[in-house]
Structure 1
Amino acid sequence: MNFSLIGVAGYIAPRHLKAIKDTGNSLLAAVDKFDNVGVIDSFFPNADFFVEFERFDRHVEKLKNRGVCIDYTSICTPNYLHDAHIRFGLRVGSDAICEKPLVLNPWNIDALQSIEKETGHRVWNILQLRVHPSIIELKKKVENSPKEKVYDIDLTYLTSRGHWYYTSWKGDLDKSGGIATNIGVHFFDMLGWLFGDIQKNIIHIHEHDRAAGYLEFGRARVRWFLSINEDLLPKEVRDKGQRTYRSVKIEGEEIEFSGGFTDLHTASYSEIIKGNGFGLDQARKAIEIVHTIRHSKTQGLVGDYHPFARKPLAVHPFTKT
């Protein structure tokens, strides 16, 4: 299969490059407005590279006119550009493989479904937790448990970010979708995949450096907390010099899935190429959840909230003197 890649200078792009290579395929062309892309040499040194999207577009069209088909367009760009770049991939005659979040708004999915019908090509979303061995085993356990069983879950994810975060697109709510969308969407997708349709979505806190709330699925009650603030890390984590803390407790029991992340993109690509990937319908639930979080009024610390939500709020870096 032949691939093109949009956003090859991005943080996540090397996982896509590796997945393309490990599945025995070829990267023909890549584009990014930043030219610090020496990583390409480790995977596809003969791929053509462009810093201007217009020239990349022209190149792909010239390949098409010579009978060289781009089978897949991989998209590793900022969240707010996903929709436009997916449309590009479909319209040049390829399927699109896009990082999460697929899009920022549920109605974007509706429009992409129309373009799928027009072009006959598919949109695939990287939802790597669905192919994680530990999560697959957990899904089997849930499916084999009594149907009336409703699980109590605490989800905690802290991934420290420095002041650069607020200058980048990730710190812009309109571009990233905010904390819950940017770092939480794959967890919300996992929960919906495991426990069914959403029943309640209550937001306790939604600040520049953290978000917390309560989700109720058909078979789970979830207290969740997400943050990029290093000061909120548990002491034992900070004492080890670590900057990330990930915890999912089900009925008080920790689910271990911190390992095995490095090859999940390759596993995702393998399934997509077989036609078994996760398409627009599978992506919809998590997009609806984060869209609601982004646009709902916060309730404050009332009801059943995550214990980490009690931690004092921090001053936004740009307000410090």
Structure 2
Amino acid sequence: MKHFSLIGAAGYIAPRHLRAIKETGNTLVATLDPFDSVGIMDSFFPKAAFFVEFERFDRHIEKLRRTAQPIDYVSVCSPNYLHDAHIRFALRNHAHVICEKPLVMNPWNIDALMEIERESDHRVYSVLQLRLHPGIIALKEKIARSPVDKVFDVDLTYITSRGNWYYSSWKGDMAKSGGIATNIGVHFYDMLSWVFGGVKTNQVHLHRHDRAAGYLEFEKARVRWFLSIEHQTLPAHIQEKGQSTYRSITVDGEEVEFSDGFTDLHTKSYQHILAGSGFGMEEARHSIEIVHDIRTAGISPLLGDYHPLVKLPLTRHPFEGSKRKVST
């Protein structure tokens, strides 16, 4: 049984990590979150220590490190802009790290962390769960069997409705989340680069508080992509069903079925990591480079190939969030 600590216990993604820790037969010892709405812990680890102040949490983890029961793994589920600092904290305390996407905000952050990782003799793992999805694995195998010079036409559409709270939270702040492409798209970009190879072209046709769109060319694919958190961008038949999320990937006009099988992917990720075959920082690099380039790119004119939803009517919202760039 491994001893875990979790940073970001009140966040949206934390329950998947709590479940993964429990389902892999391990225990959660200590957690941290400045918000105390963490009653979900009672369903998994009611005896875990909980802190709302980082200083007291830091003291507790250090005390454990100096005893016979140090923390083996720190799961990082904090806001995107804090991942770098919390990974460093874990490595300093001689613990391995399991970090949510995006691993960090900028490519150069990976280089610095890899140096600290080598010094600490502990590993940093990124949760890249789509690489474990049976439908995506089957797609990768299909692409690998294709002719060497074959280039596929891919459309990626991901719309997940978010309410007004989004713009008042860190997710609506460009400096803290990296914007919509980083916040909800990074795992799709990782999947695309994993399946179709290195990036050759990265154009951005639209980048706003509630949606983003562009064109990516990989070694084996030409990809038109569209991401949105605006309910009105959902297809009519999805709205009529009362659903709030729509995800679609087509390859040469054929739909890739991957709508199911998401609920247990974090547990699968933990199983792979604990077995010594998790995805390290270098494997997360391509997706971090893609979202960084999207975040800092100028807007390209709608010439050539572009996603058709880029022309949907734009909405105005009083809570658009910060447009500041992150460069730390």
Q: Same fold (TM over 0.5)?
A: yes
Q: Which amino acid aligns with 1:160?
A: S
Q: Which amino acid aligns with 1:305?
A: Y
- Matches of 1:147 and 1:36, distance apart in 2: 52
Q: Determine helix, strand or coil for the equivalent of 1:187.
A: helix
Which residue of structure 2 lines up, in the alignment, with residue 104 of structure 1?
A: 105
Which residue of structure 1 lines up, in the alignment, with residue 204 of structure 2?
A: 203
User: TM-score, normalised to structure 1's length?
Assistant: 0.98
- Matches of 1:47 and 1:318, distance apart in 2: 36
Which residue of structure 2 lines up, in the alignment, with residue 185 of structure 1?
A: 186
- Matches of 1:59 and 1:109, distance apart in 2: 27
Matches within 5 A, 1:25-40: 25-40=26-41
User: TM-score, normalised to structure 2's length?
Assistant: 0.96
Shift of 1:208: 1.1
> Unpaired segments of 5 or more residues in structure 2?
321-328
Any idea what the Cα deviations from partners look like across 1:124-177, whole Å, max 9, x if unmatched? 000110000111111111111111111100000001111111111001001000
Q: 1:318 to 1:119 in 2, by over 3 A?
A: closer
- Matches of 2:281 and 2:88, distance apart in 1: 13
Contact kept in structure 1, 2:168 and 2:319, CA below 8 Å: no
141-150 vs 125-134, greater mean Cα deviation: 141-150
Which residue of structure 2 lines up, in the alignment, with residue 165 of structure 1?
A: 166
Contact kept in structure 1, 2:154 and 2:223, CA below 8 Å: yes
Which residue of structure 1 lines up, in the alignment, with residue 307 of structure 2?
A: 306
- Matches of 1:177 and 1:300, distance apart in 2: 23
Shift of 1:46: 1.2
- Matches of 1:150 and 1:41, distance apart in 2: 50
**1:7 correspondence with 2:4:** no
Which residue of structure 1 lines up, in the alignment, with residue 64 of structure 2?
A: 63
Shift of 1:301: 2.0
Runs (4 or more) in structure 1 with deviation over 3 Å come to: none
Q: Which amino acid aligns with 1:19?
A: A
Contact kept in structure 2, 1:61 and 1:92, CA below 8 Å: yes
Q: Which amino acid aligns with 1:308?
A: L
- Matches of 2:29 and 2:56, distance apart in 1: 14
Q: Which amino acid aligns with 1:163?
A: N
Q: Determine helix, strand or coil for the equivalent of 1:222.
A: strand
- Matches of 1:23 and 1:148, distance apart in 2: 42
Any idea what the Cα deviations from partners look like across 1:111-133, whole Å, max 9, x if unmatched? 00010011011110001100001
- Matches of 1:290 and 1:64, distance apart in 2: 36
Shift of 1:312: 1.4
Q: Which amino acid aligns with 1:127?
A: L
Which residue of structure 1 lines up, in the alignment, with residue 177 of structure 2?
A: 176
Any idea what the Cα deviations from partners look like across 1:174-219, whole Å, max 9, x if unmatched? 1000010000000000000000000000111111111000000000
Matches within 5 A, 1:286-301: 286-301=287-302
Shift of 1:316: 2.3
- Matches of 1:198 and 1:262, distance apart in 2: 29
- Matches of 1:126 and 1:37, distance apart in 2: 22
Any idea what the Cα deviations from partners look like across 1:262-304, whole Å, max 9, x if unmatched? 0000000000011111111100000000000000100132220
Contact kept in structure 2, 1:163 and 1:317, CA below 8 Å: no
Q: RMSD of aligned C-alpha atoms?
A: 0.9
Shift of 1:102: 0.5
- Matches of 2:166 and 2:31, distance apart in 1: 25
Shift of 1:108: 0.4
- Matches of 2:301 and 2:172, distance apart in 1: 22
Which residue of structure 2 lines up, in the alignment, with residue 54 of structure 1?
A: 55
Q: Determine helix, strand or coil for the equivalent of 1:45.
A: coil
> Unpaired segments of 5 or more residues in structure 1?
none
Which residue of structure 2 lines up, in the alignment, with residue 239 of structure 1?
A: 240
Q: Which amino acid aligns with 1:110?
A: D
Contact kept in structure 2, 1:153 and 1:221, CA below 8 Å: yes
**Share of identical aligned residues, percent?**
65
Q: Which amino acid aligns with 1:247?
A: S
Q: Determine helix, strand or coil for the equivalent of 1:302.
A: coil
Alignment coverage as a number of residue pairs: 319
Which residue of structure 1 lines up, in the alignment, with residue 317 of structure 2?
A: 316
